[in-house]
Chains A and B, each alone.
Chain A
Amino acid sequence: MKNTYSATVGVIGTGNFGTALANLLAHKCKRVLLYARNEQKATQLIKTRKNGSHQIADNVEIITDISLLAEKCNVIFPIVPSINFREMMKKLSPYLKPYHVLIHGTKGFDFNEINNKNNALKESKNQIFTMSEVIRQESSVVRIGCIAGPNLSKEIALKMPAASVIASDFDEVIHLGQKYLKSDRFLVFGSNDLMSTELCGILKNIIAVGAGTIDGMKLGENAKSLFITRGMVEMVEIGKAMGGQVEPFLGLAGIGDLIATCSSNLSRNYNVGLRLATGEKLSEITHSMREVAEGIKTIDIIHEWSKNNPIRIPITETLYKIIHEEITVEEAHAYMMKFPFTSEIKFLN
């Protein structure tokens, strides 16, 4: 099975997931170029051939020249935090052509705060985009996809079995993703609903933070199941209000990813919640973390978004108050237990 395809495939980002993905690709493709933004990090990776718990596969080549990546690879996987995504695209875009295929693995929003106070137009206050939209805005690439699902990088590093969804408007993008990633330890499903799939991955991070707080308070499995289920409902409601469909939320990118991230301290977002519940402050937690917990930023963004969208999002609002130290985790818990939830599930009608 090894190196079945002669293609050279690119990965952008040397975080945990970027490295895990590069290794998965290296299993099927002859050559993988892994782009590192930071020269120092690149030098270190080249020297040690190790990144955290990941042993970098032999046919993965670390590079720092982004133009080379675009020149050599038709298929590129950008796996960078949402906060750096647009900047990365701006750097990459001059070298991209419409034949490129981009499959991103970033589970966060791009948030554009526009302060035009003297403008009579209400609509363009804040703009929220998914990464596929950022790719469209910044480049001439149209064949875009995303990869989402329960992919805890450390498990992938240990060569444990896992699965993912590749979503795209284009069947050829899904097929390419499957071709280059599918193996006996990695299943790849396809979906034609790109935006909803992206939303699944992004919104589940909110719930993961919350699940961490439940475990941090040692409230037990019943409470956590309750929380995850209500969290799922809230994810779907937000997703629908943002124009997404329900189906992907019920699949691997939705429930699948939610279960994994809400029950494992391998998840960064879950860990943030866990530590918040033990009394640590957000600033301390983020300071000590090596990688970004997307969930925190997503909570802020959805909080902003909800000001112009009349839907009830008790979980996100409560988490917002916790991370901004308006209430304690205990108070939040008491509040949630009294919250007047009406019907259990409405989104299926």
Chain B
Amino acid sequence: MSQSRPRYKDILKRKKDWPIVNLSQNKKTFLDEVSQNVFTNLIQGDGRKTLHEELETTIYREKQRVINNPWRVDPKDDLTFWKRIQKKQLAIKKSKDKITIEKEILKEIIDRYCKEIVGSFNKSSYRFAKRITTFGFARLLNAARVKGFKSIFSRQLDLQDQIHVVGEPEQLRKLAKIGTIVLVPTHFSNLDSILIGWVIQFLGLPPFIYGAGLNLFNIKILAYFMNSLGAYKLDRRKKNPIYLETLKEYSKRALEWGCHSLFFPGGTRSRSGQIENSLKLGLLGTAIEAQRSLISDHGKQAKPIFIVPVVINYQFTLEAPSLINEHLKRTGRERYYRESDAFSNSKKITTFLMKFFTKKSDISVSIGRGLDVLGNYVNDQGQSLDQHGQVIDIKDYFLSNGKVNVDKQRENTYVQILSKKIIEEYYKNNRVYSSHLVAYTAFKMLERKNTKLDLYSILRLSEEDLTLDYEAFKKNFKKLRKVILELNEQDKVDVNDKFKNKADESIIYGLNNVGMYHAKRPLIKAKDQILILNASTLYYYHNRLEGYGLEKYI
């Protein structure tokens, strides 16, 4: 607790130098560029569908969405807009100049989407939100932990003590001065956005823009934070090519304008509790396209784009029970599931935050080494390095016969290379706590005890079958710990400092932390036994260590 941690100075002193400020001041120019580019791209088409068909299906689906699945955040004129567009489209048949009208409709839709997506960053509300996240949380923390309400003004404890930023924060700061950063964190909890927002300002970086699910804007408290932290809106209900193209162009263009961005490449929160093992390639692809486009426009002066993987290490996830239930229902192919979410209203979140700051549980945020858009490591000067440490020119990846050319298929393959590398980095930077390992050991032992049962039957075992002998548990825990420490030596995973303590201590620490905020603790020790009180939550926490091949050792 008392060890001193660095305080980072802002890398850009003047707010008007922030790329995000530039973007919000020139919002109109920016949106015009986006809209024009999307329009040109879509007019060229991919040959699969005609513009006519594309418009027809989009309009039909949008009308269905407005009627069947409206949200509070939706624009008031949603229905009127789509009705009007449909009318216009139906009238085309009688018109002579079909193509012109179709193009007009397309442009109207794109412009509307642009306006829906655009974030409303505002300097002063950013400052306020920033104050809330740092001072506000810190005050809460002091009040709860030190000496009751009076100490609310004490500076004894603040967020830094609770959240450890590890890995390569210094390199991230350096790279942010040289080029444009794309942070790609793992995604386990809705708290992630706020947490990353805090980390960004803690490291003295200017605010990042990021796409946040529109559903989160339904919740007022989150909407406020997200708007002020530079979020743009991402509506998962809209899956039509026009919307997706607009979204991608928005992200690509913002990168070209030099706006640092934040993507959660896993898409949504990990339902199973496992680290992402497949990423959404769409948004990642915009980083590659933007890099190519910058090189093509500016040659040697092109600003580099850096991908920085971030692993958020919690020992608990507030939403774990609901996430894992959703996961199980999906994989179990139950026909019906309802999204019930612990983050569904502001009150629940406040309660959670209170809990979070009053109990002591470390969170660490691992900042990975910077990568170029092909997944090569970069040095502190921002130069790409090959696997032998030789400097390579990122431009060479986009050359054909000495010239930069656009090759969609090539870039799609590059996204896969990048995504594979990001996943590798996640596994490498994932920090193992004893709580992860107690959950893993206990669940794997349960599986071994019941080899004939499938997962769903194991989760339904009755109370008397949910006990494990402590000595056997300890033996397995130690064995697995040895393997993890060896993986750690090979730089394949990270471990928490307390992880190396004596086995009994380590286990106690782990048991105290695993799912500590849940109404029902998943795992406890009673005399010489380990009791599993909630098998599915335990399964969730156990999943965090899947993918390392540990199952071979138990």
Quick check: B396 and A99 within 8 Å, CB to CB? Answer: yes
Shortest CB-to-CB span from B399 to chain A, Å, is 4
Inter-chain contacts of A74 with B (CB < 8 A):
401-402
Quick check: B386 and A172 within 8 Å, CB to CB? Answer: no
Quick check: A171 and B409 within 8 Å, CB to CB? Answer: yes
Which chain A residues (161-196) contact chain B, with CB distance < 8 Å? 169-172
B549 at the interface (CB under 8 A from A): yes
Which chain A residues (134-186) contact chain B, with CB distance < 8 Å? 137-140, 142-143, 169-172
Quick check: B400 and A93 within 8 Å, CB to CB? Answer: no
Quick check: A142 and B392 within 8 Å, CB to CB? Answer: no
Closest to B405 in A: A172
CA distance A97 to B374 in the complex (A): 14
Inter-chain contacts of A97 with B (CB < 8 A):
392-393, 396
Quick check: A122 and B482 within 8 Å, CB to CB? Answer: no
Closest to B417 in A: A142
Quick check: B392 and A98 within 8 Å, CB to CB? Answer: yes
Quick check: A99 and B397 within 8 Å, CB to CB? Answer: yes
Known contacts A170-B409, A171-B409, A172-B407: A142-B397 contact under CB 8 Å: yes
Quick check: B487 and A121 within 8 Å, CB to CB? Answer: yes
- Residue in A93, A94, A142 whose CB lies within 8 Å of B374: A142
Which chain B residues (369-407) contact chain A, with CB distance < 8 Å? 374, 376, 386-388, 390, 392-394, 396-397, 399-402, 407
Which chain A residues (93-131) contact chain B, with CB distance < 8 Å? 93-94, 97-99, 119-123
Quick check: A139 and B386 within 8 Å, CB to CB? Answer: yes
CA distance A171 to B396 in the complex (A): 17
CA distance A138 to B549 in the complex (A): 26
B486 at the interface (CB under 8 A from A): yes
Closest to B549 in A: A123
B413 at the interface (CB under 8 A from A): yes
CA distance A99 to B490 in the complex (A): 32
CA distance A156 to B393 in the complex (A): 39
Quick check: B482 and A120 within 8 Å, CB to CB? Answer: yes
Quick check: A140 and B410 within 8 Å, CB to CB? Answer: no
Shortest CB-to-CB span from A142 to chain B, Å, is 6
Quick check: B400 and A121 within 8 Å, CB to CB? Answer: no
- With an 8 Å Cβ cutoff, the count of chain A residues facing the other chain is 21
CA distance A98 to B376 in the complex (A): 11
Quick check: B387 and A137 within 8 Å, CB to CB? Answer: yes
Which chain B residues (156-210) contact chain A, with CB distance < 8 Å? none
CA distance A98 to B397 in the complex (A): 5
B483 at the interface (CB under 8 A from A): yes
CA distance A140 to B410 in the complex (A): 16
CA distance A94 to B390 in the complex (A): 8
Which chain B residues (474-490) contact chain A, with CB distance < 8 Å? 482-483, 486-487, 490
Please classify how large the interface on chain B is, using the bins under 10, 10 to 19, 20 to 34, 35 or more.
20 to 34
Shortest CB-to-CB span from B400 to chain A, Å, is 7
CA distance A97 to B395 in the complex (A): 10
- Residue in A99, A138, A172 whose CB lies within 8 Å of B409: A172
Quick check: A98 and B396 within 8 Å, CB to CB? Answer: yes
Shortest CB-to-CB span from B214 to chain A, Å, is 35
Inter-chain contacts of A121 with B (CB < 8 A):
483, 486-487, 490
Shortest CB-to-CB span from A3 to chain B, Å, is 17
Shortest CB-to-CB span from A33 to chain B, Å, is 17
B552 at the interface (CB under 8 A from A): yes
Shortest CB-to-CB span from A9 to chain B, Å, is 12
Inter-chain contacts of A93 with B (CB < 8 A):
388
Shortest CB-to-CB span from B485 to chain A, Å, is 9
Closest to A98 in B: B396
Inter-chain contacts of A123 with B (CB < 8 A):
549, 552
CA distance A172 to B399 in the complex (A): 11
Shortest CB-to-CB span from A23 to chain B, Å, is 24
Quick check: B410 and A170 within 8 Å, CB to CB? Answer: yes
CA distance A236 to B332 in the complex (A): 32
Inter-chain contacts of B414 with A (CB < 8 A):
142
Inter-chain contacts of A171 with B (CB < 8 A):
407, 409-410
Select the residue from A121, A138, A139, A143 with max chain B CB neighbours within 10 A: A121
- Residue in B390, B400, B401, B413 whose CB lies within 8 Å of A169: B413
Closest to A171 in B: B409
Quick check: B483 and A120 within 8 Å, CB to CB? Answer: yes
CA distance A143 to B400 in the complex (A): 11
Shortest CB-to-CB span from A51 to chain B, Å, is 30
- Residue-wise, chain A 295-318 has the 8 Å CB interface mask toward B (1 for contact) of 000000000000000000000000
Inter-chain contacts of A172 with B (CB < 8 A):
400, 407, 409-410
Shortest CB-to-CB span from A54 to chain B, Å, is 29
Shortest CB-to-CB span from A307 to chain B, Å, is 15
CA distance A93 to B389 in the complex (A): 12
Quick check: B552 and A140 within 8 Å, CB to CB? Answer: no
- Residue-wise, chain B 409-448 has the 8 Å CB interface mask toward A (1 for contact) of 1100110110000000000000000000000000000000
Inter-chain contacts of B402 with A (CB < 8 A):
74, 99
Inter-chain contacts of B388 with A (CB < 8 A):
93-94
Known contacts A120-B482, A120-B483: A140-B549 contact under CB 8 Å: no
Inter-chain contacts of A98 with B (CB < 8 A):
374, 392-394, 396-397
CA distance A143 to B398 in the complex (A): 11
Closest to A90 in B: B388
CA distance A98 to B417 in the complex (A): 14
Inter-chain contacts of A137 with B (CB < 8 A):
387
Inter-chain contacts of A169 with B (CB < 8 A):
413, 416
CA distance A115 to B51 in the complex (A): 61
- Residue-wise, chain A 278-296 has the 8 Å CB interface mask toward B (1 for contact) of 0000000000000000000
Quick check: B399 and A99 within 8 Å, CB to CB? Answer: yes
Inter-chain contacts of B410 with A (CB < 8 A):
143, 170-172
Shortest CB-to-CB span from A333 to chain B, Å, is 39
CA distance A142 to B374 in the complex (A): 10
Which chain B residues (61-87) contact chain A, with CB distance < 8 Å? none
Closest to A142 in B: B417
Inter-chain contacts of B397 with A (CB < 8 A):
98-99, 142
Shortest CB-to-CB span from A285 to chain B, Å, is 39
- Residue-wise, chain B 488-514 has the 8 Å CB interface mask toward A (1 for contact) of 001000000000000000000000000
Quick check: B393 and A170 within 8 Å, CB to CB? Answer: no
Quick check: B486 and A119 within 8 Å, CB to CB? Answer: yes
CA distance A171 to B387 in the complex (A): 25
Quick check: A120 and B386 within 8 Å, CB to CB? Answer: no
Closest to B394 in A: A98
Inter-chain contacts of A143 with B (CB < 8 A):
410
CA distance A120 to B480 in the complex (A): 10
13 contacts between A and B (CB under 8 A): A94-B390, A97-B396, A98-B394, A98-B396, A119-B486, A121-B483, A122-B552, A142-B374, A143-B410, A169-B413, A169-B416, A170-B413, A171-B409
**Closest A-B pairs by Cβ, 9 of them:** A98-B396, A140-B386, A99-B399, A99-B396, A98-B397, A171-B409, A97-B396, A169-B413, A140-B392
8 additional A-B residue pairs with CB within 8 Å, beyond A93-B388, A138-B387, A172-B410: A98-B392, A99-B400, A99-B402, A120-B483, A120-B553, A122-B552, A140-B386, A142-B397
> Contact residues of B with A, CB < 8 Å?
374, 376, 386-388, 390, 392-394, 396-397, 399-402, 407, 409-410, 413-414, 416-417, 482-483, 486-487, 490, 549, 552-553
